[in-house]
Chain A
Amino acid sequence: MEALKDIDLQINQGEFVGIMGPSGSGKSTLLHMLALLDDVTAGTIIVDGTDVERLSSIQKTHFRLTKFGYVFQEYALLPELNALENVCLPLMMLGAPAREYRRAAMEMMETVGLSKRAKHLISQMSGGEQQRVAIARALVNHSRILFADEPCANLDTKNSGIVMNLLRRLCDEREQTIIMVTHEPEHMQFADRIIWIKDGMIEKEEKPG
């Protein structure tokens, strides 16, 4: 069964791309393939001039650590770590000295507006706060691309607004490339470009507003 076919897509640095489509259309599959979470059976994905499908499993892991950031719909944070420690994790994996990764993580916590909640355990934080911690973790290693898989699916309207505004601000201020899957029409306004997927194919592309 072909989940995706004839996908020809170019995303530029600093662009905020939203992927939309009905359930089962293949939008999540496309995101997983672009994010190197799932294997591509045919075709190529080029990131920063690298044909990522030619990378070994170990190289893909390193690629994900250094180039990509992820935000999942269920926050996906480690419950045994506090917010700051969760954000430190990617830098620790890269071998940064303790003082450096703590400083960088704290800066990211300030960027997402949670510096005062840095020492709190994940279980002591609201859904919106957890998602902002996940965004801080995804960006602390200066990842080139942030992948967000329905980041507001479990959030109320107020927290959804906070998270989407944060993503937009990061895109504007840091030229952060963001690829986000969503099925919420109200999130379209935050993206630079919307790609509509239907039956595994790109149905149309449009600029919001």
Chain B
Amino acid sequence: MKTPFGDRFNLPELGNDLRVAFFLVFKAITRGNKYTLVLTILVTTLAFINIIFTSSIMNGAISKAYQQAQENYVSNIVILPAIDDKYISQVRQLKTSIDTLPGVISCSSRYSQSGLIRYDPEKDNLDVREKAWTIKSFNPEEEIKVTSLQNYMIAGRYLEEGDRDQVIMGREISGGYGASFQISSLKGAKVGEEISITYGNGVKRDYKIKGIYNTYFPLADLNVFITEKEMESVLGLHNRASEVLIKTDGSVPERVYIDRLRTMGIEQEQINVWMDFIGYISGLTQTFDIVKNIVTFIGLLVAGVTIFIVIFIATVNRRRQIGILKAIGMKERIIILSYILQAAFYAFLGIVAGLIFIHIGLVPYFIRNPLPMPIGLVSLALVRSDMAVAIISMLLVSVVAGFIPSWMVTRQNIIKAIWG
């Protein structure tokens, strides 16, 4: 069988060739130039960290977006009214049934109603700020089992069941507390201040801002909430809902619950999983994947070129020595193998050093100091498959980087190699 080394494939012979190659590499590394060794490993370490860091940040951002959607936006599953209906009816009975489903942690019903929010900070009609938003309601005791908004209050307090004339709102609607979208907000509404809401059905109520939350997730932070009791009095409805949020324990994929809910008798209503509500994030994921691939490719190229240069310089400097080794009967494949092993060794140490730095340096640092991004505070998310691909690619690139220069030099005529 022909091999790239131009020799017959003979296992015992190959084993011995590997033994000699390992011996040469071991001696070349342990007795070679330590500065070259350290610098080469440093560059391969940095290239590896670069690959892992970039993909981990992007994975962290995607994973954060998913987590935010589930914790603070729509939980795991959302039941919406049938296409021709405005509300889901018999909601209490429905929630009781849903709570009996295996894997369901809890559920919460919400009303949604459009409303015009009026904010007059000085109450003098000179600087009135009016914006139309969707006003939502929930039962606070139910909601805290389904979403985590209560953990993200940056001012004031969360709603309580008996609250009738109070609202909580996201930072992006208040426009204060470092909001990102100040222009389309109330431009600085604060806790304790008053607003009035004119609902789509013409009902007008005055409220005090009880609390302001900030999840860093724009879809969640662009909401105004009142209590369910207050909304039912505004709408004149009872035991209905615009949506029912269901939190599951994650033991089975959310889509499995769709069949279970249908079997339970929810036939007309629309049942969606959280992924259906964050289409734009799916687009973002695809973009991140492209960027990840480009960065990984460049990182591998940097590592490959570095190792190539090191091996190339080593082989050119030892051209005479390689000629002599061939003259005394050393097979070309032993020489090539020794340089491939040397290159793989550089890459291996770079990977190990990179992994150590990532695990004891970068990951703990970003857990303590997450990056503020428009979707939340993002830490590194190390994905095993991405890391495996990076490690295997790095080793493959090093093998190629070791093979090409050594193959080029060993192809030379012995006399030319020795005497130039």
List A residues at the B interface (Cβ < 8 Å): 32, 35, 37-38, 57-58, 61-66, 68-70, 72, 76, 78-81, 85, 89-90, 92-93, 95, 121, 137-138
Tell me if A76 and B31 are in contact (CB < 8 A): no
Q: Which residues on A sit within 8 Å (CB–CB) of B23? A: 92
In the complex, residue of chain B having the shortest beta-carbon distance to the beta carbon of A95: B16
Q: How far is the CA of A138 from the CA of B325 in the complex (A)?
A: 12
B interface bracket (residues with beta carbon within 8 Å of A): 20 to 34
Q: Which residues on A sit within 8 Å (CB–CB) of B331? A: 58, 61, 93
Asked if B19 is at the interface of the complex by the 8 Å CB criterion, the answer is yes
Q: How far is the CA of A19 from the CA of B330 in the complex (A)?
A: 26
Tell me if B19 and A92 are in contact (CB < 8 A): yes
Tell me if B414 and A65 are in contact (CB < 8 A): no
In the complex, residue of chain B having the shortest beta-carbon distance to the beta carbon of A63: B329
For B19-48 the 0/1 string (1 means CB < 8 A from A) is: 110011001101110000000000000000
Tell me if A68 and B329 are in contact (CB < 8 A): yes
Q: Which residues on A sit within 8 Å (CB–CB) of B6? A: 57-58
Tell me if B415 and A32 are in contact (CB < 8 A): yes
Q: Which residues on A sit within 8 Å (CB–CB) of B326? A: 61
List B residues at the A interface (Cβ < 8 Å): 6-8, 12-13, 16, 19-20, 23-24, 27-28, 30-32, 320-321, 324-332, 334, 413-415, 418
Whether A92 contacts B20 in the complex (CB less than 8 A), given A66-B329, A72-B324, comes out as yes
Tell me if B329 and A64 are in contact (CB < 8 A): yes
Q: How far is the CA of A76 from the CA of B418 in the complex (A)?
A: 9
Q: Which residues on B sit within 8 Å (CB–CB) of A61? A: 326, 329-332
- Closest Cβ of chain B: how far from A131's Cβ, in Å? 14
Q: Which residues on A sit within 8 Å (CB–CB) of B20? A: 89, 92-93
- Closest Cβ of chain B: how far from A40's Cβ, in Å? 13
Tell me if A37 and B7 are in contact (CB < 8 A): no
Tell me if B28 and A64 are in contact (CB < 8 A): no
Q: How far is the CA of A62 from the CA of B413 in the complex (A)?
A: 16
- Closest Cβ of chain B: how far from A3's Cβ, in Å? 11
Not counting A64-B327, A92-B19, A95-B16, a sample of 5 additional A-B residue pairs whose C-beta atoms are within 8 angstroms of each other reads A37-B327, A72-B324, A81-B27, A93-B16, A121-B31
Whether A38 contacts B328 in the complex (CB less than 8 A), given A58-B6, A76-B321, A93-B20, comes out as no
Q: Which residues on B sit within 8 Å (CB–CB) of A85? A: 27
In the complex, residue of chain A having the shortest beta-carbon distance to the beta carbon of B32: A80
Tell me if B32 and A137 are in contact (CB < 8 A): no
Tell me if A70 and B328 are in contact (CB < 8 A): yes
Q: Which residues on B sit within 8 Å (CB–CB) of A66? A: 329
Could you name 8 residue pairs across A and B whose Cβ atoms are closer than 8 Å?
Answer: A35-B327, A61-B329, A61-B330, A62-B329, A63-B329, A76-B321, A80-B28, A92-B20
Q: Which residues on B sit within 8 Å (CB–CB) of A90? A: 328-329
In the complex, residue of chain B having the shortest beta-carbon distance to the beta carbon of A62: B329
Q: How far is the CA of A60 from the CA of B324 in the complex (A)?
A: 15
Tell me if A80 and B27 are in contact (CB < 8 A): yes
Q: Which residues on B sit within 8 Å (CB–CB) of A79? A: 31
Whether A80 contacts B31 in the complex (CB less than 8 A), given A38-B414, A93-B334, comes out as yes
Whether A37 contacts B414 in the complex (CB less than 8 A), given A58-B6, A92-B20, A95-B16, comes out as yes
- One of A37, A57, A68, A69 near B415 (C-beta < 8 A): A37
Q: How far is the CA of A89 from the CA of B321 in the complex (A)?
A: 14
Q: Which residues on A sit within 8 Å (CB–CB) of B324? A: 70, 72, 76
In the complex, residue of chain B having the shortest beta-carbon distance to the beta carbon of A29: B415
Q: Which residues on B sit within 8 Å (CB–CB) of A69? A: 328
Q: How far is the CA of A38 from the CA of B331 in the complex (A)?
A: 16
Tell me if A64 and B328 are in contact (CB < 8 A): yes
- Closest Cβ of chain B: how far from A6's Cβ, in Å? 22
Q: How far is the CA of A38 from the CA of B6 in the complex (A)?
A: 19
- Closest Cβ of chain B: how far from A107's Cβ, in Å? 19
- Closest Cβ of chain A: how far from B311's Cβ, in Å? 15
Q: Which residues on B sit within 8 Å (CB–CB) of A65? A: 328-330
